């Protein structure tokens, strides 16, 4: 049997990975593949667009979004595993 999941570490891991994905998708937005993902991210994250400063904003929103999701997932897992 394993111990409980560290919710904070899970949230940080998810946040870092997803924010890197958002960052890379914005960098590759000049291609057809990247542009489709960027348009999807515009629909999901408020204020995110094609402007140069929005690369940082989108990366930050992606981190917060995935951190919260990872943290809640870890917390819920620990509750249900009891």
Q: Where are the domains of the chain?
A: 7-81
> Would you state the pLDDT for residue 1?
54
> Would you state the pLDDT for residue 48?
83
pLDDT in tens, the chain (82 residues): 578 999 999 999 999 999 999 888 888 877 777 778 888 888 988 888 877 777 888 889 999 999 999 999 999 999 998 8
Q: Rounded to whole angstroms, how far apart are CA atoms 32 and 36?
A: 6
Judge contact between 59 and 16, C-beta under 8 A. no
Q: Rounded to whole angstroms, how far apart are CA atoms 10 and 38?
A: 25
> Would you state the pLDDT for residue 34?
75
Q: What global pTM score does this model have?
A: 0.84
């Amino acid at each position: 049997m394993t111990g409980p999941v560290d919710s904070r570490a899970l949230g940080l891991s998810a946040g870092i990975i997803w924010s890197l994905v958002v960052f890379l998708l914005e960098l590759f937005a000049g291609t057809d593949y990247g542009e489709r993902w960027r348009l999807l991210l515009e629909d999901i994250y408020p204020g995110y667009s094609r402007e140069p400063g929005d690369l940082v904003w989108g990366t930050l929103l992606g981190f917060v979004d995935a951190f919260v999701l990872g943290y809640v997932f870890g917390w819920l897992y620990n509750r249900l595993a009891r």
